[in-house]
Structure 1
Amino acid sequence: MKKNIVILGTQWGDEGKGKIVDFLSSNSSYVVRYHGGNNAGHTLVVNKKKIILHLIPSGLLYPNVIGIISNGVVISPFELIKEIKMLEENGYFINKRLYISPSAPLILPYHIQMDLAREKKLGNYLLGTTGRGIGPAYEDKIARRSLQIGDLKNKKELSRKLEIIVDYYNSQLVSFYKCKPIDYKNILKDLLEITDFIYDMIQDTTNILHQAIKDKKRIIFEGAQGSLLDIDHGTYPYVTSSNSTIGGVMTGTGLGPKNLDYILGVTKAYSTRVGQGPFPTELFNDVDHYLSTTGQEFGSTTGRKRRTGWLDGVALRYAVKINSLSALCITKLDVLDNLKEIKICTSYKNINSLENYNNFSNVNLNNIIPIYEVYPGWMKKTSGIKNIEDLPQEARNYIHHIEKIAKIPVDIISTGPDRLDTILVKKLFF
């Protein structure tokens, strides 16, 4: 029985982490977002009703769960409030159940403006960001000029700091990017109007979590994006601006590694990627169309069509290694139901060793040719199956092949978007 579980993505994001967090949260006390911002989108389906979250931890759909947005997250306060109100409209009330670290950096309009201006300037060489201001907000954090959530509690200091940083951004936006200047007074006015709404949520989240550990509470740490988008270990420069691998949990919360009992890597039964960057197993045929339409592969944050491909076993082994994964969760198995054959990339031709995926920037991408193993499809419905014994034998064989490639067990299998369409192969904290 596991107390504290980390749930993170092993691919380029969009693996279905939100559903798994939601599924496991019924038996937890806390769910913690520890990195990223509202560039993440976690889609939950409860009783056939879809809820999309971007900042709020997925487990808060259960009334017994407390949500934590920790210091590693960059927060748009306006988007946060919009999300809280959306939940209330859908019957989910999180008053006194959500706590926000005072050290979490703010995302403000000048970050978004800078993000969009840079992408436009890059033209055909754009990175494919979500345009949510995530990168510039993390830059401010590293440059030690961030406005933080805690600054909202001191109006005088907030005004002073805001004027300085808006002047810094305007000097670039106007002179170099030829954009209109940002008016810091408008931003200040908007911030002062919403401060009371989140004032009581601003708490020492590190202390709350340490007390929860002491009280032997069950905690889920919810990752955003995926391991191959990690700023240090992903396919640089086509990555996010935070650590989406396991290290982000410690730096993003203030908890040490000894407090983590189990690390679950969520892996789609095939591969997808949004935006630019290398994708060795990408498909450009009828299978791509099938996966896109059957899997509804469109970004929950941007709406962009995701690129699709076969499962990349080389990338999966890399994610297992750098995250010290305990086990895997395979999602969207049901999407493969109507394929006569299914492939897994097990190695790359012309590349003897690609130990680190951040080395993609130094590799001739034309040389990355995937070598596949081919498996028979099951051509039977798996959607909604809740016991592994009820899966077609070919589907069970496919899961077993993934286990052999990854060299760790598959403990959970998702067979549909609803929280109940889930096979729990191994008990976690149920």
Structure 2
Amino acid sequence: MSTQAQAVIGALYGDEGKGLMVDRLAAATPGAVVVRSNGGAQAGHTVVDPAGVRHVFHHIGAGSFAGAATHFSRFFVAHPMLLLDELTALGQLGVEPEISSDPRAPVTTPFDVIINQALELARGTARHGSCGLGFGETIERNLRPEFALSTKDLFRPDLHARLVSIRDAWVPVRLAALGITALPAELAAALADDITTARFEADCAAYLDRAALWPDRRLCERGPVIFEAAQGLELDQDRGVFPHVTRSNTGLANMLAISVEAGITELAATYATRCYTTRHGAGPLKGEVPALSGINIVDPTNAPNEWQGTLRLAPLDLDTLRQAIARDLTLDRGGITIRGGLAVTCLDQAEDGFAITDHGEAIRLDPAEAASEIADLAGLPLWAESWGPRRGDVRLRMDAAAA
């Protein structure tokens, strides 16, 4: 039983290639279990297998194509309605992931989704950048013990009564607190329809059929651990720019808490960044431009959508990158040894002489040397660089492979 673990963390605003890096590490780590350490179904981690099959992972760990198991930690928000769709899609690809969940993992209900979407619609042009999947509302509801719902609660004989209580007692209180006096017609109909609750109960039963209860403290019994973070450090609820943050800790914080429970003593954290910066959704983006010179962006995952709009762009800002990673590495480690390294992705999209910035000054880089230069300027060892969307396009450095 190993007490060492690996981790992949988004260094900025998400969409940095975390799925690709988890897939690459899982392929190099036989018997691995990928641990979802934060977030929920709003994550979108793209993996293209060696044969060219593409999947965007939302619940299931991005190491599944490489044969890794998946574990939902106590900080991961399960979404039974969407999980089953993802499992069906993976099954059609011949992938049947082994899944476990800490009993404390919160569970999203359709009522959280309804509140979330109603709130974002009410904000109009002042949206916060939510995906509309109920993640933040799940966290908010679970702060009230009488309305909380976690994976272990799905076994309760009074589950139906609890769901009705959430619908009839929690939803009106929450809507009133948000200043929402009326729901859009479609959302109001879904809230009032008993079929909504019945379908969710069926989804919960199917979820329990697929996910074994397994406490975080026994993680190391399952195999070598690879933590998979969601979103990025600049979206952390405690460190990002409110209100344009996610309701979770996106870096080491949750991983360290889980590691203390599980007896993990060493953690190798790979911080992933594109060679440029993207942000999906509202909020500040330093150096934002309508288009990037010297970058041919290829990103089929982040298509324009109703909830987060169009992918936003900026040159990679080294000052922002350094500060975000430094803040994460200065967290209280609880006696756990941490090594940090950098992964630079999307280098195949860069042309000769593309630019990054540092303290407001433009620095032009040759793509062939860019990863090493970015890592040096960021003050971290370079552990990986990617030149395409598949694990075979990722060059791992020796110290990362040994992590």
| Closer, same or farther: CA 373–211 of 1 in aligned 2, 3 Å | same
Number of the residue aligned with 2:392: 420
- 2:315 corresponds, among 310, 314, 323, to 310
What is the deviation of 1:138? 1.1
- 1:45 corresponds, among 43, 48, 66, to 48
Root-mean-square deviation (Å):
2.5
- Contact kept, 8 Å, 1:74 with 1:134, in 2: the verdict is yes
Deviation string 1:66-113 (CA, Å, 9 cap, x unpaired) is 21011111111011111111110111112xx21122211111111111
- Contact kept, 8 Å, 1:121 with 1:177, in 2: the verdict is no
After TM superposition, the structure 1 = structure 2 runs for residues 110-121 of structure 1, keeping only pairs within 5 Å, are 110-121=111-122
- Contact kept, 8 Å, 2:304 with 2:311, in 1: the verdict is no
- 1:211 corresponds, among 197, 221, 224, to 221
Q: Equivalents in 1 of 2:207, 2:292: separation in Å? A: 48
| Closer, same or farther: CA 222–268 of 1 in aligned 2, 3 Å | same
Number of the residue aligned with 1:7: 8
Q: Equivalents in 2 of 1:12, 1:252: separation in Å? A: 23
Could you state the TM-score of these two structures normalised by the residue count of structure 2? Answer: 0.86
Q: Equivalents in 2 of 1:232, 1:196: separation in Å? A: 35
Q: Equivalents in 2 of 1:33, 1:222: separation in Å? A: 5
Q: Equivalents in 2 of 1:152, 1:301: separation in Å? A: 35
What is the deviation of 1:124? 2.1
- 2:150 corresponds, among 148, 151, 157, to 148
Secondary structure of 1:343's aligned partner: strand
Amino acid paired to 1:318: Q
| Closer, same or farther: CA 244–130 of 1 in aligned 2, 3 Å | same
What is the deviation of 1:51? 1.0
Q: Equivalents in 2 of 1:258, 1:171: separation in Å? A: 41
What is the deviation of 1:221? 0.3
What is the deviation of 1:193? 2.0
Number of the residue aligned with 1:409: 381
Number of the residue aligned with 2:274: 268
Number of the residue aligned with 2:334: none
What is the deviation of 1:405? 2.0
Of the structure 1 ranges 257-266 and 403-412, higher mean CA displacement relative to structure 2 is found in 257-266
- 2:372 corresponds, among 386, 390, 400, to 400
Deviation string 1:271-290 (CA, Å, 9 cap, x unpaired) is 00011111112112463xx7
- Contact kept, 8 Å, 1:415 with 1:422, in 2: the verdict is yes
Q: Equivalents in 1 of 2:310, 2:11: separation in Å? A: 20
Secondary structure of 1:208's aligned partner: helix
What is the deviation of 1:265? 0.3
Number of the residue aligned with 2:336: none
Secondary structure of 1:68's aligned partner: strand
Q: Equivalents in 2 of 1:113, 1:78: separation in Å? A: 13
Unaligned runs of 5+ in 2: 330-338
- 1:84 corresponds, among 87, 97, 102, to 87
- 1:332 corresponds, among 332, 346, 358, to 346
What is the deviation of 1:404? 2.6
Amino acid paired to 1:71: R
Q: Equivalents in 2 of 1:231, 1:333: separation in Å? A: 29
Number of the residue aligned with 1:319: 324
Amino acid paired to 2:151: I
Q: Equivalents in 1 of 2:156, 2:265: separation in Å? A: 34
| Closer, same or farther: CA 196–126 of 1 in aligned 2, 3 Å | closer
Of the structure 1 ranges 48-57 and 23-32, higher mean CA displacement relative to structure 2 is found in 23-32
- Contact kept, 8 Å, 1:162 with 1:184, in 2: the verdict is no
What is the deviation of 1:52? 1.1
Q: Equivalents in 2 of 1:88, 1:253: separation in Å? A: 31
Matched residue count: 377
Q: Equivalents in 2 of 1:257, 1:306: separation in Å? A: 40
- Contact kept, 8 Å, 2:316 with 2:356, in 1: the verdict is yes
